Structure 1
Amino acid sequence: MTHGSTPGVEDGPAPGGGARWSWRDHVPDLLAGVVGAGIGAAELSLRATWGYESTSAVFVALVAVSVVLARPLPGVALALVWSTGALHLATGDPVLLTELLLAYVAFAGARWGNRVVLALSGASIPAGVLVGGFAVLATGYSPGIVVVQGVRNLQDGLSLSLLAAVPVALLLLAAAWFGGLALRFAGNATVSRRQRELAERESARAQREAAQAHEIARLRDEQARMARDVHDVVGHSLAVILAQAESGQFLPDTDPAALKTTLATIAGTARSSLQDVQAVLSSTPVPPGRLQALVDSAGSTGFPVESRCGGTPRPLPPDLAAVAYRVLQEMLTNALKHGDRAVPLVVEQRWPEGVGEELELSVTNGIPLAPTAPRSGGRGLEGMRRRLEGVGGRLSTTGDGTRFTATARVPVRS
């Protein structure tokens, strides 16, 4: 038997018929044991006053101990009850009225005993009554329950009276046992309900935590997406501005119009970059037709650009349009930063004819004799690859030592 309380569940029957108790639960049993011992002592004293042979105080002690142990140790209490009956038959001592308290042991066996004790306590009731009745008829054992001296006058009909008391004793013990069984089922139902409520609360808490984790993951993904988009926008615009500024150094001093054109291009690129950053932060979708605008902006840097377009361009869903735009933007940025200015950039758009096919975007640039090493830790190719894989696309690169080609394939769907 386990003592103590389970957090979150009030004391009550434990699975399997046991129970969990705190020390306060034993106070009623201790009081009942003390009261039972007092009643038994008073009964012994009364019998001695009336002139009957005194019954051993052992039976009073057995009753008291059985009552005290009935709740925490119902199996031990049941064993003491059988020991009491066997001792009566062995010694021939009469039964005390105080031993009626042993019905509480039958109640306790059904209420708090495990499955074995439950079965044994139930079987003990008819078995004990039959053993007692047999002892009266076969051995002439006289229980001798006497509290009123005039009962002696009924000795002539004692056997009949005792046999009539058999069903009374059976009903008394059975009522106590079934009462304990009813409370056992009610207690188990209460515990089951509380456990179900606790499980429901735990499930609700787990769902809330899962929802919170999902929201945190969504926000982190959104932050990562914004970071990639801002990186692409700023990187592309800075590459264009840098190319314009470098080309401006080689303009003749006698051509102020060309210098103004270069400065206007730089200002327009910076303005467009600010607008793109604002669009990223506000999650504004990429408008249609921006792919060619990217190619045109690369051509305004003084970098020779060859633009080729196959098939018929058409609007893409927002998610695919954003991926195609950002990937092409990053490919152009890398080409402007690391490409050979003496070799034209070749930008190709190959649009599919039907849904379910792929849009191919490729950028080819020359490789300078002394290439500029890319910065470590950049997002570059790996960032483009992750973007494309997120929508079912892919990225491939080829190079022969003089030219480098990056090709992105974006699935087209309606």
Structure 2
Amino acid sequence: MKRDYYEVLGVARDASDDDLKKAYRRSAMKHHPDRNPGDHAAEAAFKECKEAYEVLSEPAKRRVYDQHGHAAFEHGMGGGGPGGPGYSDMGDIFGDIFGNIFGGGARGGPRRGADIGYVMELDLEEAVAGLEKRIEVPTLVSCHHCAGTGSNDGVLEDCQTCHGRGQVRMQRGIFQMQQTCPHCAGRGKTIPNPCKPCMGQGRLEEEKVLSVKIPAGVDNGDRIRLQGEGEAGPPGTPPGDLFVEVRVRPHDIFERDGDDLHCDIPLRISQAALGDIIRVPTLHGDLELRIPAETQTGKVFRLRDRGVRSVRSRAPGDLYCKAVVETPVNLTAEQRDLLEKFEATFVGEGARKHSPKASTFLDGVKGFWDRMTS
């Protein structure tokens, strides 16, 4: 009795495509006949994990398997499993139609290498200015020993199951369904003398060093595509792509909102009351900002064109500086005495005209209590 394909690969039933691939790679390397010469149990385990991966790695087959188990590939559907007598390379109009419906005829051979992702963290200054940065990406690369062919001597033979076509047809009654050949994985070729370093896979795990150009103005979530820098594909297929996703670290001063920047500017009570000229930071150097007298906390000053020019913008955004009036701390005796004398000047009803927010608040409180007691 056949084991469950998920059990064979040692993964959960909700395993991702990437998890399936990693599990298959581990198992295949462990049980490969080249590593276990003469070990029939290892050879059987290798074939078992290969068969499991061929079914679970194809979305259409996996859906059918999840619903019906091994029975989906028996009783005429698969002739007892991949490579069995139920397979045929005969073609007719029914096979073409149903092969395309089930996803077998549209691919025309093995898939290319997988796309891979890389997260690059940048400071805000780096994201705004742009830069070139070296990264190290663990991936599958084309085997240097066999030039990615998987063959130790360069000899490839037509697959005897699909006769070099890369696809076979499963018979079900009068209908046929086309799918990737399970024996050669759609390559149409087999390798009599596999390359030992890559065990006939044509690919090796390696850490690739790349130089990535980051354009000026990138933001969180932006992705840069490096075509052909993903995983090397199976022999005879192109590599996948590398997608570099940008993550911008939080900044000590600025917060970015699209093309605009926001920051808080702390003011002393005296500066806010009397007015002042202060220097505020921008990403391109300090600027003078005139603070008018009687400035309140929350007032926002707009500095045009001092924001960010994103990769999608023609003009830079603006910088918005919000005033934050601070209460003084660690007062000296002299400062405390001066403040007490200053506070003593706020007496009677006349004091309310100096505190606009306090006056509004007190009027609101009075109105609230009047409504509560009426």
TM-score of the pair, normalised by structure 1: 0.20
TM-score of the pair, normalised by structure 2: 0.21
> Relative to total residues, which structure has the larger strand share, 1 or 2?
2
Which has the larger Rg?
Answer: 1
> Relative to total residues, which structure has the larger helix share, 1 or 2?
1
Larger RCO (CA under 8 A, 6+ residues apart): 2
